[in-house]
Amino acid sequence: MDLIVGGGVVGLSIAWRLARAGQDVTVIDPAPASGASHAAAGMLAPVSEVAYTEEPLLRLGLAALERWPAFAAELEADSGLSVDYRAHGTLDVAFGADDLAALEELAAFMDKLGLPVERLTGRECRRLEPMLSPSVRGGVLAGGDAWVDPRRVTAALLAALETMRVPVVPRRATDLLDGAVRLADGELLTGERVVLAAGAWSGELADVPVRPVKGQIMRLRSPTRCSAGACAAWCTARPCTSSRAATARWWSARRRRSWASTPG
């Protein structure tokens, strides 16, 4: 039996794939699908998030994105649930001259790498997404990006695992041993292999260079439907802090920069 420590998108996906291959598997997580996977924006965006020093990561992201349509179709077939996978691209928009210059710099870099990119006027941006402000001056459309609802993905994975009778142990792992996992109540689960998929908290169970990073996302409701299907304003990452005041200051500074990003 294989033991999977972690019940987010990664851990549940590993368990599902192993179960499909006929392996006995058990998932260990005190609250499956409630961590980073629950809060994620769902952006499958290696194109629009490309960075100058991360071309190897870009190639990895593009390879992963290429596999998503088949992954989503198989998961929906096994679970009977939709994961709302959409391959409509990412629209980055700007309000000021500085933001337009930054977007042009990004677009030029994408051109250099041979990535799909389209420069748009403010009017063209609003044609794609009518809910954008009239103040939008221009934007860049990264047509190679996609989006998925991470909460639907984890729900589908849990449903598929339940259908396959894969046990999900709702307890916290405290120690990883050779072929075993010790739980918080002292119980020892044994197996042939142990897979650590605890995300940002993996460093608490093994000597790996992983630490939590706090993402910022604002989900919006609207009386009319966004063209994207879901509206979110800017998400990024920074070192974790528990200070609500610091978070509020960060959001205020972000708003003053007048930058918006709409997943397609």
pLDDT digits (tens, 9 = 90+) for 23-82: 999 999 999 999 889 988 888 999 888 888 888 999 999 999 999 999 999 999 999 999
Torsion-angle region of residue 114: left (phi > 0), alpha (psi -120 to 50) or beta?
left
Read off the amino acid at residue 235: C
pLDDT on residue 237:
45
Give the pair of three-digit tokens for residue 207. 């000597």
Query: What value does the mean pLDDT of the chain take?
Result: 85
Helix, strand or coil, per DSSP, at residue 259: strand
pLDDT on residue 131:
84
pLDDT on residue 222:
66
For residue 208, which of 6, 54, 1 has the smallest C-alpha distance?
Answer: 6
Sheet holding 173-177, edge to edge: 173-177, 180-183, 188-190
Torsion-angle region of residue 33: left (phi > 0), alpha (psi -120 to 50) or beta?
left
pLDDT digits (tens, 9 = 90+) for 97-156: 999 999 999 999 999 999 999 999 999 999 998 888 899 999 999 988 999 999 999 999
Phi, psi values for residue 185, rounded to 5°: -90, 5
pLDDT on residue 242:
36
Residue 17 has pLDDT above 80, yes or no: yes
Q: How far apart are CA 45 and CA 152, in angstroms?
A: 18
pLDDT on residue 247:
42
